[in-house]
Structure 1
Amino acid sequence: MISSSFPSPAKKLALAVVTEPERAVPAPVGVGEEAMRTLLGTAADAGVSVVATRPIGDTERLLGQAWPFPSPFSVTVRTVALSEGLDRVEARARRSLERMGLPRGDTLLVSRATDLAGAEGRDLWDRLQALKDRGLYRRIGFVTTLEDGPALLARRFQPDVIEMPCNILDQRPVTEGVLSDLAARGIDVHVSSVFARGLLFASREALPAHLAGQGVALSRTRRRLAEARVDPMQAALAYCLGLPPVTAVVASVASAAELRAVLAAAHAPRPDLDWEELALSEPAAISTGSVARISNAA
């Protein structure tokens, strides 16, 4: 079930700043920092209060140089993969705070739920719990997919936060009751991949090989949105922002211009759509294998 309103869409948005070369145009020294300040200033002015980061690229350093003062943002950090070793996971989580110039972070997430399911899963979780106990992070949790069995992992580890993909093409976390079950356990639920990794905006010719069979279904979804005169970005955000169990909707942006487009779509009047009709008949295909992001939306 989807709520018809929310006090302010921006309050439910979490900002994932992207600086990878395929999204952000390389800039001379100093320009990147100024662009980040503009982006964060735009987010702060709009009421966005959560910034989600990953320990890759130069994003953390740029954020550390560009925070507004006083900063209104709570920061969510992801771990490196367990394959790098337990000591590296802990050290990198500390280093993320140092790079961003923060004494503490709000949330630390295991980047892959499969790391928790392995032999060292409990040891990994204990490392995160120790960082929480020392006050370096207020909350801990993990990033998961439906296929990882998030409910089972939640019962085992009792996380504060869980992040997982959910969008109008793959509504299984909603229709199978997973989001509601997690929220009922007192877990803060964050959703990502709200634009289905760019599939909502991709032409049939641009689809990866394993999704070629979904071309007709994707065209049908886009046609229904066009007939309703609803922009795909607007529909995608309206769907996720309207989910009562969800406390944060993670949207990635590479510039202030992209953020303004996201904010405009989020604040647009909520469309009257039959959401279930927009879902793919075989949504699991989206999460099969390694799917490259197809457009600037993530």
Structure 2
Amino acid sequence: MRSSAAPSVAARLAIAVVTEPERAQIAAGGPPPGVREEALRVLLQTAADAGCAMVATRPEGDNERLLGQAWPFPTPFAVTARTVPLSQGLDRVEARARRSLERLGLPRGETLLVSNPSDLAGAEGRALWDRLNALKDRGLFRKIGVCATVEDGPALLARRFQPDVIQIPCNILDQRAAEDGVLDALAALGVEIHVAAPFVSGLLFMAGDALPPEFQPYAAALSRVRRRLAEARIDPMQAALAYALNLPGVAAVVASVASAAELRAMLAAAHAPRPDLDWGTLALPQAADLSRALHGTGLTPMDDVRRISSAA
């Protein structure tokens, strides 16, 4: 008889493993490149032992190849891949999705996500979606979906393309997807919701002097949020994960991690009691502007620049 128990906290954390040498070395205490692969194996084994069920990947750099060499065997993870830009051509998008599985060392993936929803809006959008559906029909991916923001009209995308999954940012600074009914609309359409950017690409942990120039206009507002959390004696990571994990209808929360130590800190924060906070007071009035600024820099949930050691 199938259990009706809700998934564990760890099972709902989708880890986006950072494999870039700079951050991985810093997060793991500065290992030389020769032991980076071992650090990655330790990270993935730690995730498996903790019950983490999903790993989110991307096609850039060596991310997929390094993961493919470091999985526990047999891998317990459902793996999410992403498409390359449609500007490279339909054939290239399909071939690269297949190549992602090869590099990951997997016969099939859990979900293939369109990285940029604007690819679906153009003349070849329907043809792109048909290619992804064909990969799903062949059993190479169990689900297909889209990475979107509030500005992309995710509910309209869901009605038009009927994706299995939509990944969308929603966090304590930018709560629009929850407050404006976007998450409710997606859930009503039967879409599996993955919430991204719980740490706002690292901004939640940065003091004013550490903020990049393009984010200096938000320094005062970010400082107020950190002060409110400090007054409530709540760690920012704990608050960020509590907010995201308790959003109704959310199946997974995607957060980046670069070392086993980071993952252990994240899991401890996720399992802490939910803080009694007035979440609405933490939202930035300039959330839409902040979202556009983040999009302009190219930062994504998989590029969180926070350092968990400094946030603990």
For normalisation by structure 2, the TM-score amounts to 0.90
AA partner of residue 78 (structure 2): S
The answer to whether structure 1 residue 243 and structure 2 residue 221 are counterparts is no
Unmatched segments (≥5 aa) in structure 1: 1-5
Choose the corresponding residue for 2:154, options 150, 160, 163. Answer: 150
In 2, the alpha carbon distance for the partners of 1:285 and 1:211 equals 10
Q: 1:30 to 1:216 in 2, by over 3 A?
A: closer
The answer to whether structure 1 residue 234 and structure 2 residue 238 are counterparts is yes
In 1, the alpha carbon distance for the partners of 2:230 and 2:33 equals 42
The answer to whether structure 1 residue 295 and structure 2 residue 298 are counterparts is no
Aligned identity (percent) is: 70
- Does the CA contact (< 8 Å) of 2:21 and 2:33 recur in 1? no
Choose the corresponding residue for 1:211, options 199, 207, 215. Answer: 215
Structure 2 equivalent of residue 10 of structure 1: 10
SS at match of 2:56: strand
Structure 2 equivalent of residue 198 of structure 1: 202
SS at match of 2:24: coil
Structure 2 equivalent of residue 285 of structure 1: 289
Structure 1 equivalent of residue 3 of structure 2: none
CA deviation profile, 1:57-90 (whole Å, cap 9, x unmatched): 2121121112112221100000111111111110
- Does the CA contact (< 8 Å) of 2:19 and 2:66 recur in 1? no
Q: 1:45 to 1:294 in 2, by over 3 A?
A: closer
Q: Report deviation, 1:30.
A: 5.0
Choose the corresponding residue for 1:47, options 39, 44, 51. Answer: 51
In 1, the alpha carbon distance for the partners of 2:135 and 2:170 equals 29
AA partner of residue 18 (structure 2): V
Q: Report deviation, 1:294.
A: 4.5
In 2, the alpha carbon distance for the partners of 1:98 and 1:28 equals 27
Choose the corresponding residue for 1:223, options 227, 235, 258. Answer: 227
- Does the CA contact (< 8 Å) of 1:16 and 1:251 recur in 2? yes
Choose the corresponding residue for 2:78, options 54, 74, 77. Answer: 74
SS at match of 1:24: helix
The 5-angstrom pairing of residues 77-88 of structure 1 reads: 77-88=81-92
In 1, the alpha carbon distance for the partners of 2:224 and 2:32 equals 43
Structure 2 equivalent of residue 137 of structure 1: 141
The answer to whether structure 1 residue 262 and structure 2 residue 273 are counterparts is no
- Does the CA contact (< 8 Å) of 1:163 and 1:190 recur in 2? yes
The answer to whether structure 1 residue 271 and structure 2 residue 272 are counterparts is no
- Does the CA contact (< 8 Å) of 1:77 and 1:96 recur in 2? yes
AA partner of residue 251 (structure 2): T
With 44-53 and 206-215 compared, the bigger mean Cα shift is at: 206-215
In 2, the alpha carbon distance for the partners of 1:217 and 1:259 equals 28
Structure 1 equivalent of residue 19 of structure 2: 19
Unmatched segments (≥5 aa) in structure 2: 1-5
AA partner of residue 108 (structure 1): L
AA partner of residue 261 (structure 1): A
CA deviation profile, 1:236-263 (whole Å, cap 9, x unmatched): 0000000121100001011111111111
AA partner of residue 11 (structure 1): A
With 47-56 and 286-295 compared, the bigger mean Cα shift is at: 286-295
- Does the CA contact (< 8 Å) of 2:146 and 2:166 recur in 1? yes
SS at match of 1:23: helix
In 2, the alpha carbon distance for the partners of 1:27 and 1:15 equals 21
Q: 1:59 to 1:193 in 2, by over 3 A?
A: same
Structure 2 equivalent of residue 3 of structure 1: none
Structure 2 equivalent of residue 121 of structure 1: 125
The answer to whether structure 1 residue 183 and structure 2 residue 187 are counterparts is yes
* Aligned pairs, number: 292
In 1, the alpha carbon distance for the partners of 2:257 and 2:268 equals 13
Q: Report deviation, 1:212.
A: 2.4
CA deviation profile, 1:109-131 (whole Å, cap 9, x unmatched): 00011111111111111110110
With 253-262 and 211-220 compared, the bigger mean Cα shift is at: 211-220
For normalisation by structure 1, the TM-score amounts to 0.94
User: Once superposed, what is the RMSD of the aligned Cα atoms?
Assistant: 1.6
With 255-264 and 284-293 compared, the bigger mean Cα shift is at: 284-293
AA partner of residue 69 (structure 2): Q
